[in-house]
Amino acid sequence: MNTKAMLETLNEITLLVDEPLKNVTFTKTGGPADVLALPKTKKEVEEIVAYCREQGLSWLVLGNASNLIVRDGGIRDVVIMLTEMKEIKVAGTTMIVDAGAKLIDTTYEALAADLTGFEFACGIPG
């Protein structure tokens, strides 16, 4: 993988090379990702995925990595971590929640909007 070319092409997006995943997982486990991408918007996710497809690179998407154990050998791919995408929108009886939003914040927003059905998530880490 030509990480220099990726850094140059996707220079507006936070990309960390050989980043130990123990730094970002709730369990504090895991070796490095070849590239850890931290997009802030849907458009940035689309740019990363398009680049990976064009270059034939393997990629995977993680939310907050709160219920994840990564092996010591790490992940030899581009890891797209959505922790920076935290928006929670309430529209009537519908919630639209970004993958990086914490479950507890989502629960509080549901409570504030007088919505039910998400109570089960209160005890889940993340």
pLDDT beneath 50, residues of the chain: none
What's residue 83's pLDDT?
93
What's residue 126's pLDDT?
66
C-alpha distances out from residue 58 to 11, 22, 27, 46, 52, Å: 19, 21, 24, 14, 7
Q: pTM score, two decimals?
A: 0.85
Q: Look at the alpha carbons of 6, 41, 20, 30 in this order and tell me if their dihedral is positive or negative.
A: negative
13 and 66 inside one domain: yes
50 and 10 inside one domain: yes
77 and 92 inside one domain: no
List the domain range (segments joined by +) for residue 108.
88-123
22 and 64 inside one domain: yes
69 and 94 inside one domain: no
Q: Provide the Cα torsion 7, 13, 16, 21; round to 10°.
A: -140
Number of structural domains found in the chain? 2
Q: Residue 116: CB partners within 8 Å, gap ≥ 6?
A: 110
